[in-house]
Amino acid sequence: MHEQMRISSVNIGAVERIGQGEKTLTTGICKRPHDGPVHIGKAGLNGDSIVDEKHHGGADQAVYAYSGDDYRWWSQTLGQDCAPGLFGENLTIDSLPHNPAIGDRLLIGDVVLEVTAARIPCGTLAARMKDRGFGLAFRKAERPGVYLRVLNSGEVTAGDAVTLVEAPTGSVTALDLFRFAYETTHDAERLREFLDAPIAERIRLQVEAALARIGPEVTA
């Protein structure tokens, strides 16, 4: 039995410019808590900005959720307050499982979300944290949060209860995909298991490419 999950913050962001060394970049990573209900549709949260559409957003990564419990871990580890929205997530959820399975679903009122991928850190997150080494720290921590596709639209607000419906098999987890992003060698059978799961399309293309590189004698 899982502890009751609850949305502690719904976060949306405008397009902003943030510093990255001597450069500046344009991003939508700076999410801030929003008071009141927010509509979630197939493309994500109303009013939220996504700048880097090559790597973020889209139907399979419409919503990014992060655990409030993991934020508390980061606050203790970094010795600073890590407030909701800091990592650019749309939903900060207390008691969100640390490593949900791909295909797990989150029910929030009428809204149905499905786990599709783990978040891979990028230079924008490091710039947001004002720490060039934060990407490596984020990788080592293995607390990536998850991307979700929207199966049913509706409104959400801070304080809403969240119900977890586990995937029938659950053989591929968010951390499996997170680790895949950094691996230099792959097991063909395991990659096929990834492809059998409802993973995000961006990840699916990467897995298919990795499987092709192994060679036809293994993939046949």
pLDDT at 217: 52
Length of the chain counted residue by residue:
220
Instruction: Choose between 5 and 50: higher pLDDT.
Output: 5
Read off the pLDDT of residues 161-171 as tens digits, 9 standing for 90 and up.
999 999 998 89
Read off the pLDDT of residues 92-146 as tens digits, 9 standing for 90 and up.
999 999 899 999 999 999 999 999 999 999 889 999 999 999 999 999 999 999 9
CATH assignment of the domain containing 148: 2.40.33.20
**Is a pLDDT exceeding 90 seen at residue 24?**
no
Residue 199 lies in a domain: no
pLDDT at 1: 45
Residue 185 lies in a domain: no
Contact 10, 45 (CB under 8 A): yes
Residue 184 lies in a domain: no
Q: Tell me the sheet residues that pair with 164.
A: 106
Per the structure, how many domains does the chain have? 1
Contact 103, 197 (CB under 8 A): yes
Which residue do the tokens 């995909």 mark?
A: 177
State the Cα–Cα distance between residues 93 and 105, nearest whole angstrom. 14
Strands 91-94 and 63-67, by their bridges, are parallel
Residue 26 lies in a domain: yes
Read off the pLDDT of residues 55-107 as tens digits, 9 standing for 90 and up.
778 999 999 999 999 999 999 999 999 999 999 999 999 999 989 999 999 99
Q: Quote the crossing angle between the two packed helices 188-196 and 201-214, to the nearest 10°.
A: 160
Considering all CA atoms of the chain, what is the largest pairwise distance in Å, rounded to the nearest integer? Answer: 56
Host domain of residue 26: 5-170
**Is a pLDDT exceeding 90 seen at residue 51?**
no
